[in-house]
């Protein structure tokens, strides 16, 4: 079953954001019949890479309430207290931040961590440092979203450009209701996604863990609230 899931994930249909790149590769492949075999191979390799990079497999969020899910595939590179981006207008006190680094081999479609309403979206220009560096959260170009959960908690998700990434796409708007596991955007090529937990909620993951966007549980609100009250 695991092998079947891996194969279906690799062969998943591409995200719409990848269509222009895939078409460019196919055009180059066709032009190769007129201009030489080297262009055929270049177009073929580029097309296959884009089909793989922009793959958009279906994900199945856990059927439980009060969970915060991974907003992206990749490896956790930082778990530490930090203030959310000031442009979101959230409280400035430190809260737990989980940073996920996406290599070019990871699925790059971003997923909503929890059901709620988008209250703020703020885009900020910046640098293009390696997304694996912790200072990328502050220095790099980013798109930040604030989400208010049904119980009043507020979380922040930040799409961060990387060394190669030059394009952050976000498909939701302020005021939109969202459901845990929904797609909300994509970052082209290597990048990073940060999740800021509600104040008083601790993460259940550690640095080095591998995340599956829309499925891996990063925190549990009810569990943390009960533990805090105790």
Catalytic residue numbers read 191
CB 179 within 8 A of CB 147: no
Q: Which two tokens stand for residue 78?
A: 């930082």
For the chain, percent helix, then strand, then coil, each to nearest 5? Answer: 25, 30, 40
């Amino acid at each position: 079953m695991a092998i079947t899931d891996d194969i279906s994930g690799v062969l998943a249909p591409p995200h719409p954001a990848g269509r222009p790149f895939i078409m460019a590769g196919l055009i180059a492949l066709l032009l190769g019949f007129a201009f030489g075999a080297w262009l055929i191979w270049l177009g073929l390799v580029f097309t296959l890479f884009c089909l793989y990079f922009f793959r958009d497999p279906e994900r199945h969020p856990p059927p439980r309430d009060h969970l915060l899910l991974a907003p992206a595939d990749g490896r956790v590179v930082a778990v530490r207290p930090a203030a959310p981006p000031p442009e979101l207008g959230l409280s400035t006190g430190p809260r737990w931040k989980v940073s996920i680094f996406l290599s070019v081999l990871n699925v790059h479609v971003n997923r909503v961590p929890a059901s709620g309403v988008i209250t703020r979206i703020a885009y900020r220009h910046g640098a293009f440092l390696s997304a694996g560096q912790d200072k990328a959260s502050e220095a790099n170009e980013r798109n930040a979203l604030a989400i208010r959960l049904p119980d009043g908690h507020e979380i922040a998700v930040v799409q961060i450009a990387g060394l190669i990434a030059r394009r952050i796409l976000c498909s939701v708007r302020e005021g939109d209701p969202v459901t845990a596991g929904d797609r909300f955007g994509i970052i082209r090529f290597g990048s990073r996604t940060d999740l800021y937990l509600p104040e008083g909620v601790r993460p259940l993951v550690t640095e080095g863990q591998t995340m599956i966007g829309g499925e891996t549980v990063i925190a549990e609100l009810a569990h943390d609230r009960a533990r805090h009250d105790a």
